[in-house]
Amino acid sequence: MGKMIEQQKLEETAKQLRRDIIAMLVEAGSGHPGGSLSAVEILTYLYFAEMQIDPQNPTWSDRDRFVLSKGHAAPVLYAALTERGFFPREELFTLRKIDSRLQGHPDMKKIPGVDMSTGSLGQGISAAVGMGLAGKLDQKAYRVFALLGDGEIEEGQVWEAAMAAAHYQLDNLIAFLDYNGLQIDGPVREVMSPEPIEDKFRAFGWHVERINGHSFTEIAAAVETAKRVEDKPSMIIADTVKGKGVSFMENQVGWHGNAPSREQAEKALVELT
């Protein structure tokens, strides 16, 4: 299968995305490395192996959509979009700076390829539900992908959206949960446990998959299965490592919302070569 051959290319792309995340964050001086790095394989797979999109025509009406409901992971989205050709790489280094199109959280009015403005947790998934309803109404074949954070699902709105997606049988909606286990104040299980998470989404009427979120093989298999599911939205719970790929950031809650210093960034980039 073509996708298996692509594996090595995807690994390289993922590494490039990680380098870009570190490089843009050190320039920005603030931002969210941990939850960006944990989602690299998911976005790499979606943007380079799955989604039908056209960087030359970012608002193509038949395109697949992606909603970054955990909007603070903007760096991984920007890295994916620039690598995919939606805007020039140099622009990455304007992240969070005055007059930049690259806002701290994604702004659909500014950046080509961003399908929804997000940042306030719990809101993106509702927009994804709306896009899914529109797709059904228009009898279009596009799919809507969304990425939620494990802390984000503490928001009640997520469960309102979960109920609605199942009620309207949105099998064109495939969401990922970036289950890296950490939120700002500590481990999610200590702050506000989401468990039993698979049971919760199943009880809400979703098809649920549980995978290693850093394995392209597992991501591919889960997405392929989800695409065949009828009359139900899919939630792919991806076990991930916060800060993945940078040894001193991995599983460290302190790297949720702090940019690396120049020295730390150099160290990280050495690890990512």
Partner 1 sequence: MEKIATRDAYGKALVKLGAKNKDIVVLDADLSKSTKTYEFYKEYPDRFFNMGIAEQNLMGTAAGLAAAGKIAFVSTFAIFATGRAFEQIRNSIAYPQLNVKIVASHAGLTVGGDGASHQAIVDLAVMRCLPNMTVLVPADAVETEKAVCAAAEYEGPVYIRLGRSKVPVLYTEEDAFVWGKASLLREGTDITLIACGIMVAESLRAAEELAEEGISARVLNMATLKPIDREAIVQAARETGAIVTAEEHSIIGGLGSAVAEVLVENEPVPMERVGVKDVFGESGEPDQLLKKYGLTAKDIKEAVYRVLRRREL
Binding residues for partner 1, rule: CB under 8 A, are 61, 65, 67, 107-109, 115-117, 119-120, 122-135, 137-138, 156-157, 160-161, 163-164, 167-168
Q: Measure the CA–CA gap between 44 and 42, rounded to whole angstroms.
A: 5
User: What's the closest the beta carbon of residue 140 comes to partner 1, in angstroms?
Assistant: 9
Smaller CB distance to partner 1: residue 141 or 163?
163
Residue 207 exposure: Cα atoms within 13 Å on the Cβ side: 20
User: What's the closest the beta carbon of residue 167 comes to partner 1, in angstroms?
Assistant: 8
User: What's the closest the beta carbon of residue 157 comes to partner 1, in angstroms?
Assistant: 4
Smaller CB distance to partner 1: residue 174 or 220?
174
Residue 258 burial (CB < 10 Å; 0-12/13-18/19+)? Answer: middle
User: What's the closest the beta carbon of residue 218 comes to partner 1, in angstroms?
Assistant: 28
Q: Measure the CA–CA gap between 31 and 25, rounded to whole angstroms.
A: 6
Smaller CB distance to partner 1: residue 10 or 67?
67
Q: Measure the CA–CA gap between 273 and 270, rounded to whole angstroms.
A: 6
Residue 114, token pair as written in the block:
């961003």
The phi and psi torsions of 67 (rounded to 5 degrees) equal -115, 120
Q: Where do we find the tokens 């709105």?
A: 157
Smaller CB distance to partner 1: residue 20 or 64?
64
Smaller CB distance to partner 1: residue 123 or 234?
123
Among 181, 178, 118, 187, CA closest to 148:
178
User: What's the closest the beta carbon of residue 122 comes to partner 1, in angstroms?
Assistant: 7
Q: Measure the CA–CA gap between 157 and 163, rounded to whole angstroms.
A: 10
